[in-house]
Chain A
Amino acid sequence: MTDSKYFTTTKKGEIFELKAELNSDKKEKKKEAVKKVIASMTVGKDVSALFPDVVNCMQTDNLELKKLVYLYLMNYAKSQPDMAIMAVNTFVKDCEDPNPLIRALAVRTMGCIRVDKITEYLCEPLRKCLKDEDPYVRKTAAVCVAKLHDINAQLVEDQGFLDTLKDLISDSNPMVVANAVAALSEIAESHPNSNLLDLNPQTINKLLTALNECTEWGQIFILDCLANYTPRDDRESQSICERVTPRLSHANSAVVLSAVKVLMKFMEMLPKDLDYYGTLLKKLAPPLVTLLSAEPELQYVALRNINLIVQRRPEILKHEMKVFFVKYNDPIYVKLEKLDIMIRLASQANIAQVLAELKEYATEVDVDFVRKAVRAIGRCAIKVEQSAERCVSTLLDLIQTKVNYVVQEAIVVIKDIFRKYPNKYESVIGTLCENLDSLDEPEARAAMIWIVGEYAERIDNADELLESFLEGFHDESTQVQLQLLTAIVKLFLKKPTETQELVQQVLSLATQDSDNPDLRDRGYIYWRLLSTDPVAAKEVVLAEKPLISEETDLIEPTLLEELICHIGTLASVYHKPPSAFVEGSRGVQHKRLAGSAGSGESVESPDAGSAAGASEAPPAVIPSQGDLLGDLLNLDLTPPTTAGPPPPPSSGMQMGAMDLLGGGLDSLLGGDLGGSPAMGAGFAAPPAAMPASFSAPVSSGLDDLFDLGGGVGMPMGAYSPPKTVWLPAMKAKGLEISGTFARRAGVIQMEMTLTNKAMSVMTDFAIQFNRNSFGLAPAGPLQVLSPLSPNQSIEVTLPLNTVGPVMKMDPLNNLQVAVKNNIDVFYFSCQYPISMLFVEDGKMERQVFLATWKDIPNDNESQFQIKDCHLSSDASSSKLQGSNIFTIAKRTVEGQDMLYQSMKLTNGIWLLAELRVQTGNPNYTVCLKCRAPEVSQCVFQSYEAVLKN
């Protein structure tokens, strides 16, 4: 007597048979028939033809039959909307039933029927159920609001369900609170700026109370919601942490990880010297370790998150290395993650153990795992200097095994070890060369070629070795070709006499017979370098290489911060920002870790602030010429280096190359330049790090062109404050910088005058911004074309974009800048007028304006007086318009002109303003409403500045 009987069919045809049974008079038979229908449905059979017959069974007192019919309805109502309407009456009646189970069931099912006609009837019952006396019904109704929102968002807003839902956060029953939070979070996901979950200390307190009493799932919703809150001060964050820590002992791992997220985030606010901070760090380790004893799927998610946590706060798990040791029957995805974390935790204290383990892993069966283990040994050598020797000998042992993929991986990592510790382990080169023939993977071949080229003077038959590679040049991958080209040039520079033929051969292969532009360009660069100035060539090609960094594969810090705020989510599993995700997150707000206010990490005063900026952005980040060249030479090896500039885009490379070449290609470009200003404009916003000396002649012309265009294009122009001295010569070894900001033709620009007040020539200028409130960043390198001789001044315009990393500054419009030249790096901070960030499409529709004005809470309104302004309202309006402050409407009441104005910031924040001008009264009143009230002060300053100039 099992349900499998429902799957058996008869000859007559299943549907026919079922139809007859559904219309039977006998209750029992009916129920059995519905069960058969459901059984067919579960295996994906289409039983929608039975819709009317099944719906007829709905009017029943039998709860099981009712539930079964509801199950059917949910599945098929969409395909039969007209029929589904038949069910509405029963639903509405059931919502009034004395049994709360039935009321809840009805409202729950109605929400699942995604048919417009039905949703209209749903509103009234839902409203009642949201206020039902029984909490079971209320909590079901809360979820129903989310369902309805998914079907018809407008309806939910119009009916005011969102407000009712917000009220439920204060419900007396914790389960209702949890469901309300869950529903609001889901709705908020599709409305990123709706401010639905208005978190303030009172609501936080309610949530924390409910946290202790609701179900495990509710706890997850509440914790995830708490993580979005920003505490006002360190005391508040400590008290929240204290109330969240007990969740670390929960049996449900999802609760634990959500709690970890809240703690990791709020911990940032705590001063490091606080006792509690240390206690908290200690408390975080055990639950994370426990997660690793769970099922492998849970382990995997936990490990991905631990990977983030370890990068942010290595101290938490530094003593727990052993739990990451791999068991031989762990699934492969767990093994690989564990290995990653082992390397991150490796230190001088535990390196012996780690190496012994890694060596063990290198003899396992799984190829992917073995490869990663070998690579890990190399990473340990680079990370822990004391272990380098042991690592190298371990790698040599592994090479002796002659297992093909082990040998190849070992050679790739040994190359990195050579770069990290030059002139230390070259004695092993002989052993490496023995394995030359077994290398068949591009990465390993390229690594080996690099080694041969780099140490050509110590390898007697280097020319023969390289020549052997050259035979199949065209069959090699680009990576190997580029490497081979560079290696042979190196060889030539070291042993010019014997290898002239070889170098000519490779240069002609690269420049004449190849379709690959990168390869051709590099070939031409070398060719011209070698033919014009061999000494310079030597300096360039054999230049000292930048060191590779110790930590490899680190996640970029801003991304890491964002990911820490999303611990436990898909984003944290994929190590990608949430914005890169499925449809669900249609515009997630970027979350940042809040710095601690009092801990000395971020300091108020600009001087100290820029010092902090210095430590965050080490000079290496600013691309200097040497680095770029180093990169050019070693780029294709993909060394695991995080220092050093990003690879120059190939357009930059190409231009540089053409310029060097002169000749035919050059004229081709030159001709284009003269004829087509469009192209000039395209180039004039230089994409990124282009070596200054390379691009000089071409882009100077372009720049002029562009400057001219900029000047003409904006006759009225946005307001731009006069230049002020940002960096006095006293503080910058003779370099004086004065400047201002402007917005011209939609482009934000930083206009600077650089003056050399020192006795020596200044060259190699570069600029870098610290993170700032609106993500301002240079859109290209600083174009200082000729060296700046003593007592010379030069005007420089730096176009900016707003796609840089964001960090809230105080004041909001503060910008910290680092400027580098051949003498030193200097830091200063300046403030930009916020009006520069008002975009051109900041004019709001009248209707939208009215609605938005009403929608923004009055708390966000602020007022401000502008004194001694003698413009008429029209003049003000046109003046403001020049700075992208648009007047939408004007109203005159009792001699007072009211101008309604809107503007939009580059990050999409709208600002609404009301400007009151009384004739004869020089004092204006500005009234400002914005969802982000903290910008108001800056906006007022801009108003005043624009109107008075």
Chain B
Amino acid sequence: MIHSLFLVNASGDIFLEKHWKSVVSRSVCDYFFEAQERATEPENVPPVISTPHHYLISVLRHRIYFVAVIQSEVPPLFVIEFLHRVVDTFQDYFGVCTEAAIKDNVVVVYELLEEMLDNGFPLATESNILKELIKPPTILRTMVNTITGSTNVGEQLPTGQLSVVPWRRTGVKYTNNEAYFDVVEEIDAIIDKSGSTITAEIQGVIDACVKLTGMPDLTLSFMNPRLLDDVSFHPCVRFKRWEAERILSFIPPDGNFRLLSYHVSSQNLVAIPVYVKHNITFREGSSQGRFDLTLGPKQTMGKAVESVLVSSQLPRGVLNASLNPSQGTYTFDPVTKLLTWDVGKINPQKLPSLKGTMSLQAGASKPDENPTINIQFKIQQMAISGLKVNRLDMYGEKYKPFKGIKYMTKAGKFQVRT
């Protein structure tokens, strides 16, 4: 099982270590540093590294490497999932997951890590349970603690730990009972030179914020559940009911959680909400290149495309770019060759464009590589797959909750080749 954990920052310093079994010398991380040096980009460090006596499994989150050390055969996904859980927990507790935040709360971090694993076996990883065991630091609580001498460690066995609904604590009380669901879809797509779709798929999630008193039992049904043929559920969802009736039935955790994530594969027809007209050319022998980019809305069902951000890694030979945006602002970093254009909202009457020239090194030959254009955008009040919630009902409690559902579509890895 998981032997030790080292946290390494971007400059390659170990700033925290935790051992669940015997102590492993931090020199084991040398193998990791070697791999880090070899990698051209921070994210290219291989996630599984073998050393003579150990295996190092790492994830990179918030520019911190979480390096787990294992000694025997352990499923790597198990380790990676656990490391993600650690990151999520830190973020949940401290608001951000940064080196500073971890150092500021080092004792809580240590207590948390101790509570999450026992001898390398996961113990309590649900944030509900952890929060009952170790209270998150708040300014108010720190003050009160210093005055009264009370502690931020719970004295009682967490109620959820052993019940059949470990994700929910008992005795939840709210004056305003409310349940919000956000349907968020991300489109991953690759569009080729000519504008036709090579592959497009949708990653969707339904995130919930449920603040309901007692033990509510919710059911959520969809207008078109057939869209969901590839889903991953939060453990609270009753799988049998879904299989039989295509209805989500569950006792929700308290607070924020991800109810389900789904995937609409490239085999279904995925609507592409924006199009790009581009003309990026370099002429042989001249030290100039032309850059011409126009964006437009495509299948948006009348909704506005907002927060559009275009970025592209221009070829290494490009020295500078002098461009003229019809709206928004652009920047070009001559060192990394990264061009970003903050477009804002697309107005269908007046399409945004970015035109101008790029200057190349004098005498250099025309670059071989074609830049790929990366686009980010948001569309409110629409789920691009067409998924719609039909109704939400609550059983088991008497009060009438306030319910709300929001839809949003975002670009995931949305790439246009030129």
* Complex CA distance for A364 and B40, rounded to whole angstroms: 15
Taking a contact as CB atoms under 8 Å apart, the answer to whether B239 and A67 are in contact is no
Taking a contact as CB atoms under 8 Å apart, the answer to whether B44 and A582 are in contact is no
* Complex CA distance for A111 and B77, rounded to whole angstroms: 27
* Complex CA distance for A249 and B199, rounded to whole angstroms: 24
Q: Which of A140, A217, A302 contacts B78 (CB 8 A)?
A: A217
A sample of 16 more A-B contacts (CB under 8 A), given A71-B114, A182-B121, A329-B374, is A1-B139, A2-B104, A6-B107, A64-B151, A64-B153, A68-B107, A143-B118, A146-B119, A175-B162, A215-B126, A251-B233, A254-B77, A298-B81, A332-B39, A366-B40, A568-B78
Q: Is B34 an interface residue (CB 8 A)?
A: no
* Complex CA distance for A573 and B77, rounded to whole angstroms: 10
Q: Is A101 an interface residue (CB 8 A)?
A: yes
Check A289/B230 contact, CB under 8 A, given A42-B16, A297-B47, A329-B374.
yes
Interface string of A1-29 (1 = CB under 8 A from B): 11110110000000000000000000110
Interface string of A251-264 (1 = CB under 8 A from B): 11110111000000
Closest to B259 in A: A251
Taking a contact as CB atoms under 8 Å apart, the answer to whether A403 and B368 are in contact is yes
Taking a contact as CB atoms under 8 Å apart, the answer to whether B235 and A297 are in contact is no
* Complex CA distance for A756 and B81, rounded to whole angstroms: 66
Taking a contact as CB atoms under 8 Å apart, the answer to whether B78 and A111 are in contact is no
Taking a contact as CB atoms under 8 Å apart, the answer to whether B76 and A43 are in contact is no
Taking a contact as CB atoms under 8 Å apart, the answer to whether A256 and B232 are in contact is yes
Q: Which of A38, A250, A583 contacts B107 (CB 8 A)?
A: A38
Residues of B within 8 A of A332 (CB): 39-40, 44
Q: Is B350 an interface residue (CB 8 A)?
A: no
Q: Which of B43, B162, B201 contacts A135 (CB 8 A)?
A: B162
Q: Which of B80, B154, B263 contacts A298 (CB 8 A)?
A: B80
Taking a contact as CB atoms under 8 Å apart, the answer to whether A357 and B198 are in contact is yes
Taking a contact as CB atoms under 8 Å apart, the answer to whether B75 and A319 are in contact is no
Check A67/B153 contact, CB under 8 A, given A6-B107, A295-B84, A327-B190.
yes
Closest to B203 in A: A293
Which A residues from 568 to 602 make CB contacts under 8 A with B? 568-571, 573-574, 578, 581-585, 588
* Complex CA distance for A578 and B75, rounded to whole angstroms: 12
Q: Is A840 an interface residue (CB 8 A)?
A: no
* Complex CA distance for A401 and B199, rounded to whole angstroms: 27
Among the listed stretches B20-28, B302-310, B375-383, B402-410, which one makes contact with chain A, having 4 or more residues with CB under 8 Å of it? Answer: B20-28
Which A residues from 112 to 157 make CB contacts under 8 A with B? 112, 114, 134-136, 140, 143-144, 146-147, 150
Q: How far is the CB of B110 from chain A (nearest CB, A)?
A: 6
Q: How far is the CB of B55 from chain A (nearest CB, A)?
A: 6
Taking a contact as CB atoms under 8 Å apart, the answer to whether A570 and B107 are in contact is no
Taking a contact as CB atoms under 8 Å apart, the answer to whether B149 and A286 are in contact is no
Q: Which of B23, B149, B261, B372 contacts A251 (CB 8 A)?
A: B261
Taking a contact as CB atoms under 8 Å apart, the answer to whether A39 and B107 are in contact is yes
* Complex CA distance for A289 and B239, rounded to whole angstroms: 20
Between A and B, 22 residue pairs with Cβ closer than 8 Å are A1-B143, A6-B107, A7-B103, A28-B146, A64-B153, A65-B151, A68-B107, A134-B157, A140-B118, A182-B121, A186-B1, A215-B125, A251-B235, A253-B77, A257-B75, A295-B59, A301-B76, A323-B201, A333-B44, A333-B47, A363-B368, A569-B75
Interface size on A, residues (CB 8 A): 109
Q: Is A726 an interface residue (CB 8 A)?
A: no
Closest to A568 in B: B75
Check A4/B121 contact, CB under 8 A, given A43-B15, A220-B78, A253-B77.
no
Q: Is A457 an interface residue (CB 8 A)?
A: no
Residues of A within 8 A of B111 (CB): 64, 67-68, 71
Taking a contact as CB atoms under 8 Å apart, the answer to whether A217 and B114 are in contact is no
Taking a contact as CB atoms under 8 Å apart, the answer to whether B106 and A328 are in contact is no
Residues of B within 8 A of A220 (CB): 75, 78
* Complex CA distance for A251 and B60, rounded to whole angstroms: 20
Interface string of B324-350 (1 = CB under 8 A from A): 000000000000000000000000000
Q: Is B369 an interface residue (CB 8 A)?
A: yes
Closest to B205 in A: A251
Taking a contact as CB atoms under 8 Å apart, the answer to whether A3 and B81 are in contact is no
Taking a contact as CB atoms under 8 Å apart, the answer to whether B76 and A325 are in contact is no
Interface string of B195-206 (1 = CB under 8 A from A): 000110101000
Closest to B261 in A: A251
Taking a contact as CB atoms under 8 Å apart, the answer to whether A570 and B157 are in contact is no
Q: How far is the CB of A22 from chain B (nearest CB, A)?
A: 15
Taking a contact as CB atoms under 8 Å apart, the answer to whether B118 and A249 are in contact is no
* Complex CA distance for A328 and B413, rounded to whole angstroms: 9
Q: Which of B15, B232, B265 contacts A323 (CB 8 A)?
A: B265
Q: Is A360 an interface residue (CB 8 A)?
A: yes
Taking a contact as CB atoms under 8 Å apart, the answer to whether A75 and B19 are in contact is yes
Interface string of A38-65 (1 = CB under 8 A from B): 1100111000000000000000001111
Taking a contact as CB atoms under 8 Å apart, the answer to whether A173 and B48 are in contact is no
Q: Is B105 an interface residue (CB 8 A)?
A: yes
Q: Which of B107, B121, B152, B190 contacts A325 (CB 8 A)?
A: B190
Q: How far is the CB of B374 from chain A (nearest CB, A)?
A: 7
Residues of A within 8 A of B260 (CB): 251
Q: Is A693 an interface residue (CB 8 A)?
A: no
Residues of A within 8 A of B301 (CB): none
Q: Is B290 an interface residue (CB 8 A)?
A: no
Q: How far is the CB of B219 from chain A (nearest CB, A)?
A: 18
* Complex CA distance for A491 and B231, rounded to whole angstroms: 63
Taking a contact as CB atoms under 8 Å apart, the answer to whether B73 and A571 are in contact is yes
Taking a contact as CB atoms under 8 Å apart, the answer to whether B73 and A27 are in contact is no
Residues of B within 8 A of A213 (CB): 164
Q: Is A290 an interface residue (CB 8 A)?
A: yes
10 closest Cβ contacts across the A-B interface?
Answer: A584-B72, A286-B230, A2-B104, A64-B153, A64-B151, A254-B77, A297-B47, A322-B199, A217-B122, A254-B78
* Complex CA distance for A319 and B268, rounded to whole angstroms: 12
Q: Which of B23, B104, B263 contacts A75 (CB 8 A)?
A: B23
* Complex CA distance for A331 and B59, rounded to whole angstroms: 12
* Complex CA distance for A207 and B318, rounded to whole angstroms: 62
Closest to A216 in B: B235
Taking a contact as CB atoms under 8 Å apart, the answer to whether A252 and B415 are in contact is no
Q: Is A746 an interface residue (CB 8 A)?
A: no
Q: How far is the CB of A372 from chain B (nearest CB, A)?
A: 15
Q: Which of B58, B121, B151, B372 contacts A217 (CB 8 A)?
A: B121
Taking a contact as CB atoms under 8 Å apart, the answer to whether A296 and B72 are in contact is no
Closest to B75 in A: A568
Check A300/B47 contact, CB under 8 A, given A38-B110, A568-B77.
yes
Q: Is B234 an interface residue (CB 8 A)?
A: yes
Q: Which of B20, B41, B46 contacts A300 (CB 8 A)?
A: B46
